[in-house]
Amino acid sequence: MESKLVKSFSFSSKKSSSSLPIKTPTTPTGGILSKLSAPFGTTKSTPVTPASSPPLESTQQQFMDDIAQVRVALDLFLNSNINEAEEILKPHYKDSLYYSLGYSFILYLKCVMTFQHDDINMTLDVLKHTIGLAGRLRRRDSGWFDSITSWVKGTTLEDVKQMTVVERHAELVYSEAYLLKALLSILYDESVMSFLRESLNIRSSYNTYLVLEKYLEFATTQDKLVDELDDHFTSGVALGVGCFNLILSMLPASVIKVAEFIGFSSDRAHGLHVLEVVGGWDKCHSINDKRSAVIAAKTGLRRELCDMVLIMYHIVLSKIVPLSNVDIPFAENILNDCLNRYPRGVFFLYFNGRLMVNKRLLDKAEEQYKEAIETQKEWKQLQHMCFWELGIIYIMRQEWQNAYDVYTGLSKDSNWSKAVYTYLKAISLYMLANETTDETVKATHMKKVISYMEQVNGEKQKIAGKSIPMEKYVSRKARKFKSQSNYLLLPDLEILNAFTALDFIPVDILNNNMKRIDAALDQLSKKNKHYEDDLCLAEFLRAITSRMLYEQGHNTSQMHTTHEKSLQVVFDNADKILLDHYIYYFSHYEKARMLVLDKDYTQAEANVQVILKANDRGHYGKGSGPHAKNKYSLASALVFKCHNLMTQIKLAKEETKRYIL
């Protein structure tokens, strides 16, 4: 039976705005705060209403008019008319709550893409202003004692029941803006005090969403309150509730225990469901003319953001980590609906490119990314996102010159990770040099490769005081290159594994890769300085390649045997690995993935536990040399995958039991 809460999220209020086409809006007459002048001491029971203030109905109508204009700006933004969207929002962000939220959201997206201090400072200033506007519109406490009590216990359901429509929206925006500010401040300010302070703000935001969710459930039982609900409010609550539930559910078990201790909880299925009903999606996940009409009527301000989270979860994240509750055809329906409404939308073109990659249709994916790049020119950062994906495609297709050109451009124009760009540029040119028969050209290429590899370590950066795991990884690879007299074994396949991109390679390229791996193994010599490292790396890559061919029905019996034998070689030689200790732990994860395909869930769990127990103890000890007991490369990413694989295994075991019974 559908819960009352679900009904509240799917409810379309009489007062909701109608569907708004993408158009140039009229100039608004002023924000809600220009009509309100209640001072900070106004009591709950007797709000101050100056004689010059308009009646509440007029204030609320102006509030909804502001939201309608922000809705137009969001439509423009989602259809890649970014400058036009900013032109609507920027002039009024100082005196309108929703204009301020919309403008700060755009700035937030921009600064997390650029990592430029000026962009971050500007975003933090606008978010603080948004928080201030929301604070002035939130319901006031009646005195100093109530203020202290409210600070201790936070917003309660009884508080929300007494709020006006405007005050409830202010409570929602206050929570949203504080959450964005907290996340950005943690990245920007490396101090421990900042981390603790913003963590408390995140928890406060989380608690507010829970209370607002309870209010929605309560309101659906009260006829007089149902009419006060609107899609803008319900979509905002759903976005927060859904995101918190999904993110928390994906964290490692050890982190979840700590989160639960301080008051967080998660329900992945519930998070997905509240996001779905905001868009009017039904349980059968079907699309037809009638369904499309219903969906089009859902005009909540944050509805498309809820859709984007669903697309991200099912199409993007599910291919990076093994998630449960994944429904790719459903997400494809949502994506197609978004593309119909926003045909030039760079985000949706990007998602469609990822979908094509998931289907191993690399040529179609390349077309989508190129179209996304041409769609908008205002934000280079959005173009960089697509160029990054193009570079991965070129490495998968072994088009070294194209890959080199892409990463050369990114290393000049993008601030995401200079160290990673330089390393990718280096290995692309390295692979090109190895295929060149002209010795002069080869020598020129290798001179550049050596120079790039020497730059990698110096280009590392820190976020929130911590080194970036991928940058540490490529730095170690660059040092290995130098220690082996300017040589690396199959660096393209190794980095594709680090990016979780090997699973997207088509069969013809997989077969070619298998031949390359076999040839590399034949040429290995025990005289090599890091023979066991290279042996284990090649066998690990052969195991992954054989599993992917097995999944696609290619020589299944042979591929299954090859997979098992290759991993056994890794396990037999793991104690001799000098540098690449990560291979041993990633090999256990790889074995678990094949065991899941075999439906041998008990043994799959056992292999995952090898990784998790080593992480819990903080003691590793596989390999030789002084670093054998240290944390291996990309350990946190692997533990993250293992946690979600364990969730997937648990659900599969439960499904098997139900089937047997």
Chain-centroid distance, C-alpha 51: 49
Count other Cβ atoms within 10 Å, centred on residue 29: 11
Helices (H) and strands (E) in the chain, counts: 30, 2
Q: Where are the alpha helices (DSSP H) in 342-466?
A: 346-358, 362-375, 380-396, 400-413, 418-435, 439-456
Q: How far apart are CA 375 and CA 51, in angstroms?
A: 51
Residue 398 has pLDDT above 70, yes or no: yes
Are the beta carbons of 202 and 180 closer than 8 angstroms? no
What's the mean pLDDT in 603-616?
92
Residue found by looking up tokens 């608004």 in the block: 28
The 10s digit of each residue's pLDDT in 50-99 is 334 455 555 788 888 999 999 999 999 999 999 999 999 999 999 899 99
pLDDT at residue 28 above 70?
no
Q: What pLDDT is stored for residue 473 in this prediction?
A: 94
More confident residue, 395 or 109: 395
Domain ranges in the chain?
Answer: 54-229, 505-661
Summarised one tens digit per residue, pLDDT across range 263-290 is 788 889 999 999 998 888 865 554 444 4
Higher pLDDT pick, 625 / 547: 547
Query: Is pLDDT larger for residue 275 or for residue 13?
Result: 275
For residue 249, name the pLDDT band (cuts at 50, 70, 90): confident
Distance between terminal CA atoms of the chain?
24
Report the b/e string of 561-594 with b at 16+ CB within 10 A: ebbeebbebbeebbeebbbbbbbbbbbbbbbbbb
CA distance 237 to 9: 8
Res 475: pLDDT: 95
Instruction: Write out the two tokens for 182.
Output: 């907290």
Give the SS3 label for residue 566. helix
What φ, ψ does residue 532 adopt, rounded to 5°? Answer: -65, -35
Exposed, middle or buried by CB within 10 Å (0-12, 13-18, 19+), for 369? buried
Arithmetic mean of pLDDT, 532-546: 96
pLDDT for 289 equals 42
Give the amino acid at 313: Y
| Contact in structure between 183 and 202 (CB atoms under 8 Å) | yes
How many whole angstroms separate alpha carbon 103 and alpha carbon 124?
A: 12
Take residue 375 and report the two structure tokens written for it: 């769609």
Amino acid 49: pLDDT: 37
Counting Cβ atoms within 10 Å, is residue 32 exposed (0-12), middle (13-18) or buried (19+)?
buried
Give one DSSP letter per residue of 400-424, joined into a string: HHHHHHHHHHHHHH--S-HHHHHHH
User: Which amino acid, residue 470?
Assistant: M
User: Regarding predicted confidence, which is higher, 655 or 158?
Assistant: 158
Instruction: Compute and round to an integer the Cα radius of gyration of the chain.
Output: 27
pLDDT value of residue 142: 47
What letter represents residue 434's amino acid?
N
Quick check: helix, strand or coil at residue 581? coil
Phi, psi of 20 (to 5 degrees): -105, 125
Q: What mean pLDDT is reported for the chain?
A: 84
At position 294, the amino acid (one-letter code) is: V
- In this predicted model, what pLDDT tens digit does every residue of 550-579 receive, in sequence order? 998 887 889 999 999 999 999 999 999 999
Mean pLDDT over residues 372-391, rounded? 91
Question: Does residue 434 surpass a pLDDT of 90?
Answer: yes
Task: Give the mean model confidence (pLDDT) for residues 474-490.
Answer: 94
- Give the HSE-up count for residue 440: Cα atoms under 13 Å, Cβ half-sphere: 0
Predicted local distance difference test score (pLDDT) of residue 57: 55
Interatomic CA distance for residues 659 and 653, integer angstroms: 10
pLDDT in the model for residue 540: 98
- The token pair at 17 is 């705005």
If one counts every other C-beta atom within 10 angstroms of the C-beta of residue 192, the result is 9
